[in-house]
Structure 1
Amino acid sequence: MKLQPVIHLVIGGIFLFSIAGCASTRPDKNRKLIWSDEFKDKGLPDASKWNYDTGGSGFGNEEAQFYTKDHLENARVENGKLIIEARKENREDKKYTSARLLTKGKFSFQYGTVEVRAKLPKGRGTWPAIWMMSEDMKKWPDDGELDIMEHVGYHQGYIHASVHTKKYNHIMQTQKTDTLFVKDASEKFHVYKADWSPEKIEVYVDDKKFFTYENREKTPGAWPFDKPYFIILNLAIGGFWGGKEGIDDTIFPQRFEIDYVRVYQNK
């Protein structure tokens, strides 16, 4: 399977916003839970819900890690949390290992709300992400990409959300993106949420909306988000964005902790 880059340049405003505590989004009677993983069973991630991308190809971003499969040191459930752990260890020609989990082939959805409650790793060279791509991906960026959360360790606390389409993407430096500062993103859990409808995509940290992309042009080149998408959780190391200022080898191991992933259908 060939997946395309998730890297972006930062274009647009930066919102400075400090979020205290372990906030979560408010209950909403107008939506129905259609899929979730609460990470209750210790051990490997639930194979009925998650697949893996594996290997050390760099994944289009010149990433420095080797993604493993069914390797507890890199992806496991413990104490009710999914732990994606990056480690400094050799695997083939790479100096680091980590994991990339995805629901492709297991679960996809079209329109709704996805929420991921997570605590981010910290340190120069780390690059965690929560994002989505088309289940029927044929060509990037034509089939679209939605990035709900990205964080690069050398830019601590700045949360990035973006979309990529044929018309708007980082290759042409036209991607649509915005940034929110969350000072305790690596110390406390926060809810990263995307509301997706035929009219627009809105991205939040807890209840703070900081990115909106509207379906104004109503063309496939600007809006490919009218088909089922799947969810991806990963912790990359290095790469031409995450490793822009190098990798600090003293920080490892680093953990990307996920409390839950929930998808709702909006009534």
Structure 2
Amino acid sequence: MSSAFFRPALFGLILLGTASGCDNSVDQVIPDPEATPAGWSLVWADEFDGTTLDGSKWTLQLGDGCPNLCGWGNNELQVYTPDNYTVADGLLTITAREEGEGAYTSTRMTTDGKADWTYGRFEIKAKLPETQGLWPAIWMFFSEDTYGGWAASGEIDIMENIGSRPDEVFGTLHYGAPFPGNVFSGDEFQLAAGTFADDFFVFALEWEEGEIRWYVNNVLYQTQTSDDWYTTGSDDPAAPFDHAFHMILNVAVGGNLPGPPDATTVFPQSMQVDYVRVYKRDA
């Protein structure tokens, strides 16, 4: 999810559930929540135990983005508030609501200023909403504009979903030059049966120097390397994905990618998150 400017919809991407021939149905094996992935060590986590958001880890981003970034750069329709999330029963729940004709609220939270990382495995277990006009996202944004403004300093989208396409998620990189010279590349993962609203799935991204990999329930569906990306801000082939990024969780309403809610849209809708875990590669 671009936090700064609109990017075109991801039309024409390969639907990996079909193209790869692998079984992407809901009976995939979910990673053992008690097990550490081989070759990685846990360095940061939020299990959402308790009844309040951990303020040492997360900051809420509030409002509609105005005056500097109205619609959060994507013509989104919601206002982000502190009242659209709960922490209970081991779950973070972000809920999008309709507050009146054409008025919507939701929540967006970030680790900016509290935690960021260069490289690692990022693992989020979540259940997604399902309805027209919703845009849940788990993504990472540069902490410093080392190589210039968006998207010259990069953006890493771990998981995005369009609510009207509940059996698909996609992962994307943004890079190149500052807007409007930004470009992106990515792929989709499509379930063979069921939807991402039926159950919790583990969305993981492994980011190492010169290579980034995307997984759903430990099924690898996309790899991008430094041969695929670039930035006008550096000649280093690893740039812009070689400096610190922080994480963002949000559920947008409307926007250029999903389009607005319509007569079929059902509110309220929630994204539930069981945990967020960050690992570093063992030496």
Normalised by the size of structure 1, how large is the TM-score?
A: 0.88
**1:216 pairs with 195, 202, 227, which one?**
227
- 2:78 alignment partner in structure 1: 65
How far apart, CA to CA, are the structure 2 residues paired with 1:159 and 1:63? Answer: 19
- 1:14 alignment partner in structure 2: 15
- 1:164 alignment partner in structure 2: 174
Report if the CA contact (8 A) 1:65-1:94 is conserved: no
Aligned residue type for 2:223:
T
Aligned residue type for 1:4:
A
Aligned residue type for 1:30:
G
Q: Does 1:52 align with 2:60?
A: yes
- Written as runs of structure 1 = structure 2, the 5 A alignment for 1:83-162 is 83-90=93-100, 95-137=103-145, 139-162=149-172
Residues 40-99 of structure 1: CA deviation (Å, up to 9, x unaligned): 0113x1111101221123101000100013x2xx01101110000001115xx9601000
- 1:181 alignment partner in structure 2: 190
**2:87 pairs with 72, 77, 89, which one?**
77
Residues 121-172 of structure 1: CA deviation (Å, up to 9, x unaligned): 0100110000001111351001100101110112221111100001699x66
Judging changes above 3 Å, is the alpha-carbon distance between structure 1 residues 114 and 155 closer, same or farther for their aligned structure 2 residues?
Answer: same
- 2:248 alignment partner in structure 1: 232
Residues 20-53 of structure 1: CA deviation (Å, up to 9, x unaligned): 267126633421111000000113x111110122
- Unmatched tracts of structure 2, length 5 or more: 18-23, 65-69
RMSD (Å), alpha carbons: 2.5
Aligned residue type for 2:94:
I
Q: Does 1:23 align with 2:23?
A: no
Normalised by the size of structure 2, how large is the TM-score?
A: 0.83
Report if the CA contact (8 A) 1:66-1:94 is conserved: no
Judging changes above 3 Å, is the alpha-carbon distance between structure 1 residues 211 and 6 closer, same or farther for their aligned structure 2 residues?
Answer: farther
How far apart, CA to CA, are the structure 2 residues paired with 1:165 and 1:226? Answer: 12
How far apart, CA to CA, are the structure 1 residues paired with 2:13 and 2:178? Answer: 13
In the TM superposition, residue 105 of structure 1 has moved relative to its aligned partner by 0.4
How far apart, CA to CA, are the structure 2 residues paired with 1:123 and 1:174? Answer: 28
- 1:42 alignment partner in structure 2: 51
- 1:253 alignment partner in structure 2: 268
Judging changes above 3 Å, is the alpha-carbon distance between structure 1 residues 3 and 153 closer, same or farther for their aligned structure 2 residues?
Answer: closer
In the TM superposition, residue 7 of structure 1 has moved relative to its aligned partner by 4.5
Report if the CA contact (8 A) 1:51-1:102 is conserved: yes
SS at 1:265 equivalent: strand
Report if the CA contact (8 A) 2:130-2:269 is conserved: yes
- Unmatched tracts of structure 1, length 5 or more: none
Q: Does 1:266 align with 2:281?
A: yes
- Percent sequence identity over aligned pairs: 33
How far apart, CA to CA, are the structure 2 residues paired with 1:94 and 1:104? Answer: 30
